[in-house]
Amino acid sequence: MVSEQSDAAGDMSALALKILVAGGFGVGKTTLVGAVSEIRPLRTEELLSEAGQLVDDTDGVDQKITTTVAMDFGRITIRSGLSLYLFGTPGQDRFWFLWDELSQGALGAVVLADTRRLEDCFPAVDYFEHRRIPFVVAVNCFAGARGYGAHDVSRALDLDRGTPVVLCDARDRDSGKEVLIRLVEYAGRMHTARLLDSVG
């Protein structure tokens, strides 16, 4: 979850936190990681194949031609001494076996949602709820999609009270950075509360 490393000056420790970016197929995970990463992101994308068309639901994202088959990876410095390592998960059911490996040591997760296919993020929400990994839901506001407020999305997904829902544009670096800051703040509060409960 947390690692420490020396900064360039070598006189203080820097915090590096692991964050997952999850959600359904075609929701914008690769786009978000690429938009916010200050390094060239690692991508494991492959062209969609005819065989994949038989198992991947492309309704609503029929212009999509590639898919992540392992993970996306990027890094962003939130402020001096605090960096986030971003791991984007594959969205299709057949790659979910990778999630357990990717989630090891994660501080928290961003669950990207598309209101045109909101049901596609239920598996990610369930995954993080059952493993007690703090997460925020980030609604990727696609052009032409009907707009819904954060409260509407929270009710539709039956989220636990207090789970943040934020609206974002996965293509925009500042918007993505705000989502990540919100997650770090929320996850920090959750981990602190659990720590206090365990010693109380």
Query: pLDDT tens digits for 166-181?
Result: 999 999 999 999 999 9
**Straight-line distance from the first to the last Cα atom of the chain, in angstroms, rounded to the nearest whole number:** 23
Distance CA 189, CA 131 (A): 17
Alpha helices in 3-160 (DSSP H): 29-36, 50-53, 97-103, 122-130, 150-156
The DSSP call for residue 27 is S
Q: What is the pLDDT of residue 140?
A: 95
State yes or no: pLDDT of 106 exceeds 70: yes
Task: Out of 65-69, 70-74, 76-80, 112-116, pick the least confident.
Answer: 65-69
State pTM to two decimals: 0.81
**Residues linked to residue 67 through DSSP beta bridges, in sequence order:** 46
pLDDT band at 143 (very low <50, low <70, confident <90, very high): confident
Q: Which range in 57-66, 70-79, 175-184 is most confidently predicted, on average pLDDT?
A: 175-184
